[in-house]
A and B are shown apart, each in its own frame.
Chain A
């Protein structure tokens, strides 16, 4: 019990961030119209591609002889990049279509 409290105490900064982010995440998209559900899902999908930072760190820290870490890290970087780049491009393509509305004809 005491060790648990100790852990909470040492990581309280993270706990605050997590709790605040949960509220922020809910608040930020609270009133999204259903028209935007698909692009928003796709955009959020691209944002969680931030996991690529982890893949880069794994890759960058791997020793030059550690082929296990090198191979998996390399694969992780590729997959993460596809997630990020593909996600943002696809979202942009969808949203672009909403944009070029012709001016209303008189």
Chain B
């Protein structure tokens, strides 16, 4: 009776995951969707703890350990999620994803250990003597396949996510060496070969080979993510996210658990599509991202070629230009996010609007560090939704714009994406800020941006540079305009 009640709970949880994901993809209902999925998850977890019975009808034990783990995890997770700055969101998501991957890999390790014990014993005694029901149920090769799949995918997702986290917060640099792709493919082939050997010749239950597969999977995750350039990082995080989904689904096979299976596959499939959609927003193909040309290799050539003259604009001049313009377009980028300048930016915008200037924001789909990240940041600062223009809309309005104020954006306004076929960002849709009558660019220095390439926009006659931290500059601008 209890078991069938649990199956109903799992069914219900699966439905909440589907519904939650569906609602999450519409702005108006997204928050409700998230809460619904969370509710389903709580129910599934509680149901598992109290109602789960294994094939021999035994309930779960070790409640102290389970609740201890749940409490520690909840406290750590909540604190981390509450404290993290909105700008650091991509690395947080990546880190959470890594934890899920590690969880899947750990489950595989424990299950392998259990299975290996059974099999070593079964060499002397007929299995059916120990468990009469085991013959029908157990399928070594099938279980081994799933254990290994969970191990490999979970471990790759874990180490890859940790590297992605380190790269996004600047602790780890891009790194690649000659023949890296061949090396990666080699590692992958060795993992596959050893796994097939384990599945095929499993009577050995070779612990050493099992842990070698684990180590190689971790290594693969590291070298898979290391060479990928900063601008492509969100795509990789999204991809690793769907990997973890598949790893979770392996757990579903292992425990005949349909909530894990549906939840995992759902995220795996939706995550893969999301990855492709993100690539499309940047006009890149997934293969291109994975083989990677954004990173270190393309960068050196591009830096050498451009060292023209740029001109600077002083704060009072900039304040003057902005406040006597008819139409100003603000292009927020990662520099604004890093400086936490979204509030100062909103203040400048309110001040200009009060003086009769028509102020809008032009949002590139991948502004910030992830698609949609900039909208989150500006929403945090209470910027009115109607003032945010999407790329196509903004591009239509640039020719009629007096001043464009670029705040720490680089790659998304780089005209090389349209003209320079040798540029690594060639083909990426950009904001056509060079069509406006003038352009003020705020950056901290002339150093190239995230994708590591020089921007010829900065050397154009209509462009003037305003150096400094975005927040400081914006606050000074606000003061200047107030004193006009």
Q: Using CB atoms and an 8 Å cutoff, list the residues of chain A in contact with chain B.
A: 7, 11, 14, 17-18, 21-26, 28-62, 64, 68-70, 72-102, 104
- The main secondary structure of chain A at its interface with chain B is helix
CB distance from A45 to the nearest CB of B (A): 5
Chain A, Cβ-Cβ closest to B105 = A76
Query: What 13 new A-B contacts, CB under 8 Å, besides A41-B274, A76-B103?
Result: A29-B24, A33-B372, A40-B30, A43-B24, A44-B21, A44-B274, A47-B266, A50-B259, A55-B103, A55-B107, A57-B255, A59-B66, A77-B70
Which residues of B have CB within 8 Å of A55?
Answer: 69, 103, 106-107
Report the bound CA distance from A48 to B256 in whole Å: 16
Which residues of A have CB within 8 Å of B214?
Answer: none
Question: Across the interface, do A51 and B273 meet the contact criterion of CB distance under 8 Å?
Answer: no
Report the bound CA distance from A90 to B114 in whole Å: 36
Given contacts A47-B21, A80-B100, A93-B82, contact A54 B257 (CB under 8 A): yes
Report the bound CA distance from A39 to B90 in whole Å: 10
Report the bound CA distance from A41 to B25 in whole Å: 10
The 6 tightest CB contacts between A and B, nearest first, are: A81-B73, A60-B60, A25-B269, A77-B69, A86-B77, A37-B371
Question: Across the interface, do B38 and A88 meet the contact criterion of CB distance under 8 Å?
Answer: yes
CB distance from A65 to the nearest CB of B (A): 12
Which residues of A have CB within 8 Å of B104?
Answer: 51, 54
Report the bound CA distance from A81 to B76 in whole Å: 9
B44-78: which have CB < 8 Å to A? 44-45, 48-49, 52, 54, 59-63, 65-66, 68-70, 72-74, 76-78
Question: Across the interface, do B258 and A98 meet the contact criterion of CB distance under 8 Å?
Answer: no
Question: Across the interface, do A56 and B60 meet the contact criterion of CB distance under 8 Å?
Answer: yes
Question: Across the interface, do A14 and B261 meet the contact criterion of CB distance under 8 Å?
Answer: yes
CB distance from A37 to the nearest CB of B (A): 4
Q: Which of the residues B73, B267, B268, B278 comes within 8 Å of A77, measured between beta carbons?
A: B73
Q: Which of the residues A7, A29, A51, A84 comes within 8 Å of B107, measured between beta carbons?
A: A51
Which residues of B have CB within 8 Å of A90?
Answer: 81, 84, 89, 92-93, 96
CB distance from A104 to the nearest CB of B (A): 7
Report the bound CA distance from A25 to B272 in whole Å: 9
Question: Across the interface, do A21 and B265 meet the contact criterion of CB distance under 8 Å?
Answer: yes
CB distance from B131 to the nearest CB of A (A): 15
Q: Which of the residues B96, B259, B277 comes within 8 Å of A45, measured between beta carbons?
A: B96
Q: Which of the residues A7, A32, A52, A89 comes within 8 Å of B142, measured between beta carbons?
A: A7
Q: Which of the residues B31, B37, B274 comes within 8 Å of A47, measured between beta carbons?
A: B37
B354-393: which have CB < 8 Å to A? 365-366, 370-373, 375-376, 379-380, 382, 384-386
| Interface check B403, CB cutoff 8 A | no
Query: Can you list 28 pairs linking A and B with CB atoms under 8 Å apart?
Result: A14-B253, A21-B266, A28-B25, A33-B372, A35-B27, A38-B376, A41-B274, A45-B96, A45-B244, A48-B264, A48-B268, A50-B41, A50-B248, A50-B263, A51-B100, A51-B264, A53-B257, A55-B69, A56-B48, A61-B61, A79-B73, A81-B70, A82-B80, A95-B30, A95-B34, A96-B31, A98-B376, A102-B384
Report the bound CA distance from A43 to B268 in whole Å: 13
